[in-house]
Structure 1
Amino acid sequence: MTTHGPVLPTWTCGGCGASWPCRTRRQELLAEYAGAPVSLSIYMGSHLVAATQDMSWAPAGALHRRFLGWLR
Structure 2
Amino acid sequence: MTKHEPVLPLWLCEECGRPWPCAPRRAELLDGRDRVRVAYYLSLCLTSAGQDMSWAPADALRRRFLGWLP
TM-score, scaled to structure 2: 0.97
| Cα deviations by residue, 1:1-47 (Å, 9 ceiling, x for unpaired) | 100000000100001000000000000001051xx111111000000
| Cα deviations by residue, 1:43-69 (Å, 9 ceiling, x for unpaired) | 000000000000000000000000000
Alignment of 1:1-72 (within 5 A): 1-33=1-33, 36-72=34-70
Distance 1:32 1:3 in 2: 18
Aligned residues: 70
Question: Structure 1: which 4+ aligned runs deviate by more than 2 Å?
Answer: none
CA RMSD of aligned residues (A): 0.7
Structure 2's unaligned 5+ residue stretches are none
Give the 3-state SS of the residue equivalent to 1:45 in structure 2: helix
